[in-house]
Chains A and B, each alone.
Chain A
Amino acid sequence: MAEQHKEQARTLSRAEAQASTLPPLLVAAERVAATVAAGTHGRRRVGPGETFWQFRRYQPGDPVQSIDWRQSARSDPIFVRETEWALAQSVWLWRDRSPSMAWRSHPDLPEKGERADLLLLALGSLLVRGGERIGLLGGPERPSTGRTALTRIALALGDAPSSEDGLPKGTDLPRHAQLVLLGDFLSPLEDVDAALRGLAGRGVKGHLLQVLDPAEESLPFSGRVRFAGLEGEGHTLVRRVEDVRDAYAKRLAGHREGLRAIARTLGWSFTLHHTDQPPQAALLALHAVLSEV
């Protein structure tokens, strides 16, 4: 267990190193929910909050309670005290823990799961630095903020049992949370659709990042190969891989198109990442979609 924790700590530090190359991430909140506890950072605009933002002239219609009498007493005009619009957004992170993620086509490449962990933690690090609350979907903890949250997620990642199913389950997500899902999403499209719909039905805004090994993209094998699945799908004998390569590529493209379509209908985003690409690329993409207002 200690070994595993050490491993997680290493992944965490690497993830933070990745994240440090990006500016602190600010999540655009779409809605302000009264149920959400006050955020730890302002929205750089006027709104409900505790931090002083600005004084402005009293205008008709302003509630009298908002007049700052002390400030108004210093000069002739009457000033209204405005606070910064404070908001806390909770971002739920999830990564596919199915056995198919523990795979790589070449010893020099990271496993898909490793890369997903790295990306998840890097993203978490970015969010924490931006003051957001992060939590692990399906994890034991409530979303929290600060470095401890990140550490907790890292530990939870290491401890979490690998699940057979490569799709998130709709747990008690708060409404209007943001959700980042990392995985290979190679399950049948119907399953993916059902799972995501369940989540989206709770008003969650989500982002899909498909992490694939380059070999899954190009099918670089040759000759007579007996392929075996990692999640008990059984096996199939391909007599000459070269011959099926094109068909496979077409199927994969179709599958991805299906994923994209599901995401689109839910108003979610969909990004693709290959393990032979640098992780910054994927992080930038996630950064971009999370920053969208």
Chain B
Amino acid sequence: MFGLPALSLPALSFAAPWVLAALLTLPMLWWLLRAMPPSPKRQSFPAIRLLFGLNPREDVAARTPLWVVLMRMLLAALVILAAAHPVINSARPLAGDGPLLVAVDDGWAAARNWSARRAALEALMDRAERQSRPVILLPTAPPADGGPINAIGPLPAREARPLAQAMAPKPWSADRAAATEALGRLTLASSVSAFWLSDGVDAGPPGAASGFALALQRLGGGLEVMAEPPGGLARLVLPPVREGGDLVPTVRRPAAGPEETLYLRAVDDSGRVVGREAVTIPAGETQVAAHISLPAELRNRVVRLDIEDEAGAGSVALLDERWRRRPVGVVSGLPQQADAPLLSDVYYLERALAPYADLRRGEIRDLLSRELSVMILADVGQMAQPTIAELGRWVEGGGVLLRFAGPNLARLADAEQADDPLLPVRLRAGGRSLGGAMSWSEPLGLAPFPDYGPFAGLTAPADVRVERQVLAQPAIDLNERTWARLSDGTPLVTAMQRGEGWVILVHTTPNAMWSDLPLSGVFVDMLRRIVDLSQGLAGAQTQNALPPAELLDGFGRLQPARGAVTSLRPEALAETMPGPRNPPGWYGDASARRALNLAPHIGETAALTVPRGVGIRGYADAPRELDLKPWLIGAALILAIIDTIVALALRGLLPTVRRRAAAGAGAVLLALAILAAMPGTAQAQEAEVDMDFALRAALETRLAYVLTGNPEVDRISEAGLHGLTEVLYQRSSAELAEPMAVDVERDMLLFFPVIYWPVTEDQPPPSPEAQARINDYLRNGGMILFDSGPMGSGSDASAGAALQRLTEGLSIPPLQPLPDDHVLTRTFFLMDEMPGRWTGATIWVESGESGRNDNVTPVVIGGNDWAAAWARDERRQPLFATVPGGERQRELAYRFGVNLVIHALTGNYKEDQVHIPIILERLGQ
């Protein structure tokens, strides 16, 4: 398939072309369809006698309409075509008939654009399956179990396909030399067509890639190599170095190519992107350094740098403690002054460093026993000789020693021992005091910071005044060792490099004793720059082996460690080549976590070259195969459905659909589809019903009655509340809507001011949910009128028992018999008895004043069967006689109902009227 010309037209081919011969039968079908008349419509007709013997002159029109015939022909043609299995862009059939060897580069470099590789692999599997060719799969990266590279197969394509689908890139390099050996171990009977889905990167020992290609070529069945173009190769992100406050990672690509722009992301521990930087690799270059500037707090949280939208272990750089918060040791020259923190010489240091450095307090030797980046000696004077030696070694190993002057150091200078090796300059005896009572001089400000040194770019504040300092002996190199000066030119900060590390001296105190520099913001910046100077952790390190914690997979995602992964010794971290035994990722435990990155271990790389005579092709070049069979069968099915409908319509069997056949059928299909797609429809309807109930109940104020399950009682309740609503409408301004029935088990109660609850014997007690709902209702100002009247006159024992059963679990407040002066007796009418159909039953209301809900009693319990007294028929005639009092008693029953509803609606304001005589009396006075 070398030198394949670009296809200008999609190529259509058939997998089973002989089926197309069936198309020849179409004309016969045409004749058959035309010759067979459609089934007649059936029509009853009374005047049929007149039709007998009426025969038309010819039978031409008794034929299927032309368009139906055409549609059926099309249907048949579609089925035949589908059986022939057409494929667009079908690849050329494979040459030969031996097995197919598919070598797949599944190292780190294959992760980018893996989907294209997988598609190519799928396409190869399709082709192999169509031609029934066995398949040998050969991954070129060592497997994750640490074993050697082995070819899989030969297998039938059907069985090889799941294996191919399960392949994934590995977070280490491909080993093509080992793959070549694996190839050599294969014993093959016939010639083998080879395909190499390569990652396009030639890495590792020179000649390995071309050797592998040669070995593939020697298999005899031809070799086809697929590779990425130079611009599409996987890229590497090397762990950053620190330059000042920036993280400076290097982005490398295996081979020079056209200009590429990518985005580097800085990700913190919880996966948030805290920084994003565009990086452009110029054309022809292979690497470029990126600068990621972040505030120190964010920078310290960065644990991972990667390339946006690019998968792969190589494009991920994990950042461990070495890139993060610097441990800073602070040693004070003064005894701890707990009672006067502002005078402490380390107070300002700690405040300035705490946000971005890991502060440690203690003695010098203790501090040095652990990892330490920066050591700050605040006015430490004389030190023991071993300490000095140890500090010196530490500094030379990369530590940054920052010293502050003070009385102790001044004394040291006076003692002519200013030759301290841990001072960047020699100190003159006797410090300098500026200003003060005995001096003509003024305290001096800061000169602008010089262009060199770490403070370059900082702005010297104008209000900083330095009163005392220690002075440096003039020396030739004093100038270049000076990082900051006072306005008269005397050094304020001097520094000297010693070995890998630095020795820095600030010529004044770290507290406000000698200057107000520590009070200014620039002090924080200066300290921060100095801490940034430190290269990383120096000092003692843990010697324990680091167990694998979280490891990168081939796509650069962190996964829990598994497989044949071993622990890593810390000192071997730098030399360990990531592989199956030590994939890149996090090693160590919570106390010390170290990152093993892949990118630094990738040696020289180049673009893949193949031996002469082998075609190399990009993944994107392969035309996508499009199997037309499912589409054709689908179209045929749709036509068949249409044909059925048409046939029914022609026979007159779709009388209702006839006019809007298309619309109707479409609607039915759509409805079916929707029904099938929405199993939750019934639920939605239920919610709707609830909504309907709520709307009806809430939009107008209504009375409600509880359904007892006894239709007779329910009917009386409804008629009674109906009558009461009418009476309310006539006599008061409470214009309520029609009463509603509520089912305490199902409905929400909160809409109703008063609920009438007739108590019957056979009523089941409410369920716990219903009880909760009722309690809620009562607590929030609802009122329930329990009426044991339907069970008979008076309140006998059985009524009491039924009531008790119903109200068990309800939060009924303490009750009392209705007192004579209860507000219920005067909310609208003045009453002294509350009869219903019966009279004489005791009425119970809440006792005392709860203070809740305007003292409206949440329950009224009685047995006078009020609803029966209130009940009227359509002609407003009472349904039941009142016993024994006649119409006067009914009138009183209505008045009770009015009082009750007004009480529920208006609360206790009528209670105030109890006091009206007293108020009037007072006003009169």
Contact = CB atoms under 8 A, between A and B. Distances in A.
Interface string A205-222: 000000001001000010
Given A186-B50, A252-B50, A226 B62 contact: no
Interface centre among A224, A237, A247, A255 (most CB of B within 10 A): A224
Given A100-B46, A240-B56, A248 B61 contact: no
A248 to B, nearest CB: 6
Given A238-B56, A239-B61, A244-B54, A221 B48 contact: no
Contact of A230 (B44, B52, B54, B57): B44
Interface string B492-533: 000000000000000000000000000000000000000000
A238 B43 CA distance: 11
Contacts of B55: 244
B38 A252 contact: no
A228 B62 contact: no
Contacts of B650: 223
B47 interface: yes
A221 B54 contact: no
A255 B57 CA distance: 23
Given A224-B62, A248-B50, A243 B56 contact: yes
Contacts of B54: 236, 238, 244, 247-248, 251
A243 B43 contact: no
The number of chain B residues touching the other chain, given as a range, is 20 to 34
A247 B56 CA distance: 9
Interface in A246-270: 247-248, 251-252, 255
Contacts of A101: 46
A108 interface: no
A229 interface: yes
* Secondary structure call for the B interface: loop
Contact of B57 (A100, A216, A243, A252): A243
A224 B49 contact: no
B41 A224 contact: yes
Interface residues of A, number: 36
Contacts of B62: 224, 239-240
A225 interface: yes
Contact of A233 (B37, B49, B58): B49
A184 interface: yes
B45 interface: yes
Given A216-B46, A230-B46, A243-B57, A238 B41 contact: no
A58 interface: no
B40 A236 contact: no
Interface centre among A103, A188, A236 (most CB of B within 10 A): A236
Given A238-B51, A240-B61, A225 B41 contact: yes
A74 interface: no
Given A243-B56, A247-B54, A248-B54, A237 B47 contact: no
* Secondary structure call for the A interface: mixed
A248 B51 contact: yes
Contacts of A229: 44-46, 48-49
B56 A252 contact: no
A213 B47 CA distance: 10
Contact of B47 (A244, A247, A252): A252
A112 B44 CA distance: 14
B921 interface: no
Interface in B15-64: 37-38, 40-52, 54-59, 61-62
Nearest to B45: A227
Contact of B48 (A223, A235, A243, A247): A235
B47 A236 contact: no
Contacts of A226: 40-43
B443 to A, nearest CB: 112
Nearest to A239: B62
Interface centre among B40, B42, B45, B49 (most CB of A within 10 A): B45
A184 B62 CA distance: 31
Contact of A228 (B42, B49, B56, B57): B42
A224 B50 contact: no
24 contacts: A101-B46, A112-B46, A184-B46, A186-B46, A186-B47, A186-B49, A186-B50, A188-B49, A213-B46, A216-B45, A227-B43, A227-B51, A228-B42, A229-B45, A229-B46, A230-B44, A230-B48, A236-B51, A239-B37, A243-B61, A244-B54, A248-B50, A248-B51, A252-B50
Given A226-B40, A227-B48, 9 more contacts: A184-B47, A213-B46, A221-B41, A223-B650, A225-B43, A228-B48, A236-B52, A242-B61, A251-B50
Interface of A: 100-101, 103, 112, 184, 186-188, 213, 216, 221, 223-231, 233-240, 242-244, 247-248, 251-252, 255
